[in-house]
Amino acid sequence: MNEEIKVGGHISRQFDEELEEIRARVLKMGGLVEAQLDKALHALREDSSEQIVDVEKLDRKVNKLEMLIDEECTQILAKRQPAAGDLRLIIATSKSVRDLERIGDEAERVATMVRHALDNDASNKSFKGLLSLGEHVKELLHATLNTYARMDSRSAVLNMRMDQHIDEEYSRVVVRLVNLMKKDSDNISDALDVMWAARSLERIGDHCINICENVIYLVEGEDVRHTAFDRIKERLG
Amino acid sequence: MNEEIKVGGHISRQFDEELEEIRARVLKMGGLVEAQLDKALHALREDSSEQIVDVEKLDRKVNKLEMLIDEECTQILAKRQPAAGDLRLIIATSKSVRDLERIGDEAERVATMVRHALDNDASNKSFKGLLSLGEHVKELLHATLNTYARMDSRSAVLNMRMDQHIDEEYSRVVVRLVNLMKKDSDNISDALDVMWAARSLERIGDHCINICENVIYLVEGEDVRHTAFDRIKERLG
C-alpha cells in the first residue's frame, strides 16, 4: 500500500503542496519537542537550571504549532475531501500532533522536577539514575520521528520493542527509588520528584508508540491499537 | 452557531442516521467508562476485589467501541465529505472517544492499585482518603457526558471549574500521603499505591476537560486548548 501514502502526485499541485507543508510542519514540531526533551535532560545531567526556561518557551511554540497543524488538517478535510491514503494521512497526522504536544508537556514536567530539586538545594544524585532512561527515551523519540518522516511501518514495530525495554528500565528505577525512601525518610520528597520525572519519561515512550501505531495505520491501513506486540510483529515485523 | 451542530436535517436521511448512530455509540461508550470508574470506586470503598474483574472486562468492550467509532468516523469522512458543523462533529467525536478510552484505562489503574493493596493485605485506610476525590471525579465525568450529549458549551466551562477544584483536592491528597510516608517508612509502599491511584483520578479529570474543549470547538468553532480558563470563561461563561 506504500504508493498510496506517497505525498505528491495529485492532479492538484496545490493539494500536493498543502500535504507536504503539513508534513514539514509536523517534523518541525517534532524537532522542537526533541529540543525540549534534550534541554530537560541537560538540566538533569548538569545540575543546571540554565536551559529550563527554554523548555517552557519551546512549549508555547509547540502548542501553537499543534493548533495550527490541526486547523490545517481540518481545512484540508473541508476543502479537498481527501480519500484513501490522503485521508489516512490527515487522520494519522492530526492524532500524532496531539501526542507530540503531550511529549512536550512531559518534557516540561521533567524540567520542573529538576528545577524543584535545585531550588530545594536537594542533592539530585538520584536524578542521575534517570539519565540512562532519559537517553533511551530520547533515542525512541528520534527513531519515532524518523518513522513518521519515512512513513516506515517496519521501524514502527522496532520502536515498540524499544519501548518495552524502556518500560522495564522504568520499573527498575521505581524499585530503586522505593528502597531509597525506605532506607531514609529524609529522602522521601526528593525521591518522589525523581519518581514523577521517571514517570514522565516513561509516558513519553507511550506517546511515541501511539505515533508509531498511527504510522502503521497510515501505511498498512490497519488499526493496531489494543493489539498485542507479538501479533503486530508477526504481521508486520 | 448552535443550529449548525444539530444532528439531523440533512438531505440524505441515511447521513442523519449515521451521525445519530455515532453519537449514540459515544454515549454508550461513555456509560461503560462510567461503570468502570464506578466499580473501581466500589472496590476502594468496600475493600472488595469482587468488581475489579468487571473493570477489566469492560475495558475490552471500551477498546472495541473506540476502534469501531473511529472507523465509522473515517468512513463518514470518506463517504460523506462533511462540511462545517458536521465536519467538526466528526473531528470532535474522534478526539473525545480517545479521551474516553484513556479514562477507562485510568479507572483500570485505580482498580489494579486496590487489588494490589488487597493482595498485600495492606490496611487500605489511606485509600479511603481517595473516596471524596473519586466521587468528585465521577461527578465531573457524568457532567462531561451530559455536556457532550447536549452539546452544551456553557456547561463545558462549568466543568472546567470543577476540574480546578479536583486538582486542588489532588494536591492536598499528595501532601497528606507524603506526610504519612515520612512518619513511618512501613507506609511507603502502600502510600505509593494510593498516590498512583490518586494520580489516575486526577488524570481522568484532565481527560474530561479535553472532551469539554472538544465540545466548545464543536459548538463555538473555537479551539480553546492552551487558553487560560479565565479567558474561556470571559468569552463563553
How many folded domains does chain B comprise? Answer: 1
A74 touches chain B (CB under 8 A): yes
Best mutation target among A81, A106, A178, A187 (most B Cβ atoms within 10 Å) is A81
- CB contacts under 8 A, B 81-100 vs A, are 81, 83-84, 87-88, 91, 94-95, 98
Q: Say if residues A223 and A141 touch (Cβ distance below 8 Å).
A: no
Low-confidence ranges of chain A (pLDDT < 70): 1-8, 11, 122-125, 237
- Does the beta-carbon distance from B87 to A98 stay under 8 Å? no
Alpha helices in chain A (DSSP H): 13-46, 52-80, 84-119, 125-128, 131-150, 153-183, 188-220, 229-236
Chain A partners within 8 Å of B81 (Cβ): 81
Reported as a single tens digit per residue, the pLDDT across B106-152 is 999 999 999 888 887 765 566 778 999 999 999 999 999 999 999 99
Residue A211: name the closest of A126, A127, A164, A148 by CA: A148
- Does the beta-carbon distance from A223 to B71 stay under 8 Å? yes
Determine which helix (DSSP H) or strand (DSSP E) holds B58, and give its type and residue range.
Answer: helix B52-80
**B105/chain A closest Cα distance in angstroms:** 11
Give the CA dihedral B19, B25, B30, B35, nearest 10 degrees.
160
**Host domain of residue B190:** 2-236
CATH number at residue B37: 1.20.58.220
Reported as a single tens digit per residue, the pLDDT across B166-208 is 999 999 999 999 999 999 888 898 899 999 999 999 999 999 9
Chain B partners within 8 Å of A182 (Cβ): 185, 188
Does the pLDDT of residue B162 top 70, yes or no? Answer: yes
pLDDT (average), residues B1-30: 80
